[in-house]
Chains A and B, each alone.
Chain A
Amino acid sequence: MRVNGKDTELKGTKTLTDFLKDNNYNLGRIVIELNGEIVSKDKYNTINLKDTDVMEVLTFVGGG
């Protein structure tokens, strides 16, 4: 799958929650866009990722 513009191997990861935890993302500080759709936090556990998925993991940074 592609995550933040880079090819990424799923390595047996099943759910979105698993993937985010395995990759040390801070779940309280991110928003997910999966295949162009925003994913609400209550859906993280119910989504099984696929090799063809395209995901953006976004957060706030400083900006004017």
Chain B
Amino acid sequence: MENNDKLIIAGHEFNSRFILGSGKFSLDLVKAAVESAGAEIVTLALRRANTKTEYNILDFIPKTVTLLPNTSGARTAEEAVRIARLSRELGCGDFVKIEVIKDTKFLLPDNYETIKATEILAKEGFIVMPYMYPDLNVARDLANAGAATIMPLAAPIGSNLGLLTKHFIKIIIDEIKLPVIVDAGIGSPSQACEIMQEGAAAIMVNTAIATAKNINEMAEAFKLAIIAGRKAYLAGLGRVLNFKAEASSPLIDFLEDK
């Protein structure tokens, strides 16, 4: 079936609106998770190489997938820029997900440093996808700095707590013209569906799948939920009635009042 509803990031088209994080998986499960998710974008992290390691995660990700290295570990804009440049040298393309985190307890992103890193890297030709705490003013600054998408968090990284920031994400969706990709904290397919219904352009999920009892089934469940949410958004949700009702069946016309 032809899909005319593409996710477009800086001119690059994707059929899938499901970005899969590859952390916390054993290597032999990564490939199956990517396939079950139908993901066309997968995130990676940069770390010191181990000379004894026989396999690399790139050996387990289909070649057709777009790699999205993150800058995890960066505490400042400068460190994020350093990681981004090193990642690009590895030959994975120009995409980069900016993560700048100083807060070691809640792992909340530093929006100020994120804006600085975004500006520097966008000028260097990177396709910058900044992870941020959902704040409309910051989203505007990121857009002005050259971000390709905005990636607000739903809840703290790895928490599976769900859409704690839903209202503020919705404000960004409504006010910012860039694709808004909800990242971090989404714990269930129903939550992914719910924010897709509100107009999120895509969802990024890692922990909810990596910590599920059946990884492949959960990856597929997310895939279907994201598709369902997108279709519902495009279809336009029905209106809501508060404190009243409206019959769905024709009113009874053959029973006489007593």
* Residues of chain A at the chain B interface (Cβ within 8 Å): 4-5, 23-26, 29-31, 33, 38, 40, 56-64
Bound CA–CA A25/B70 (angstroms): 22
Bound CA–CA A60/B87 (angstroms): 8
Q: Contacts A23-B51, A57-B48, A58-B46 hold; do A63 and B90 have CB atoms under 8 A apart?
A: no
**A58 surroundings in chain B (CB, below 8 A):** 46-49, 86, 90
Do residues A29 and B56 form an inter-chain contact, with CB atoms below 8 A?
yes
Instruction: Confirm or deny: B43 has a beta carbon within 8 angstroms of a beta carbon on chain A.
Output: yes
| Most chain A Cβ neighbours within 10 Å, of B21, B44, B87 | B44
| Residue contacts A-B, CB under 8 angstroms, 21 given | A25-B49, A26-B56, A29-B49, A31-B89, A38-B85, A40-B89, A58-B48, A58-B90, A59-B46, A59-B48, A60-B47, A60-B56, A60-B87, A60-B90, A61-B47, A62-B23, A62-B24, A62-B44, A62-B45, A64-B22, A64-B43
Bound CA–CA A51/B87 (angstroms): 26
Interface residues of B in 1-56 (CB under 8 A from A): 21-25, 27, 30, 43-49, 51-52, 56
Bound CA–CA A27/B70 (angstroms): 21
Do residues A25 and B45 form an inter-chain contact, with CB atoms below 8 A?
no
Contact for A56 among B22, B30, B48, B69, CB less than 8 A: B48
Q: Which residue of A lies closest to B70 (CB)?
A: A63
Do residues A64 and B23 form an inter-chain contact, with CB atoms below 8 A?
yes
Q: Contacts A29-B56, A31-B86 hold; do A59 and B47 have CB atoms under 8 A apart?
A: yes
* Residues of chain B at the chain A interface (Cβ within 8 Å): 21-25, 27, 30, 43-49, 51-52, 56-58, 67, 69-70, 72, 85-87, 89-90, 92, 157-158, 184, 204, 206-207
Do residues B48 and A60 form an inter-chain contact, with CB atoms below 8 A?
no
Q: Which residue of A lies closest to B205 (CB)?
A: A64
Write the nearest CB–CB distance from B177 to chain A, whole angstroms: 26
Identify the 3 closest CB pairs spanning chains A and B, nearest first: A63-B45, A64-B21, A64-B206
**B44 surroundings in chain A (CB, below 8 A):** 60-63
**B67 surroundings in chain A (CB, below 8 A):** 60
**B89 surroundings in chain A (CB, below 8 A):** 31, 38, 40
Write the nearest CB–CB distance from B241 to chain A, whole angstroms: 40
Write the nearest CB–CB distance from A16 to chain B, whole angstroms: 14
Q: Which residue of B lies closest to A61 (CB)?
A: B47
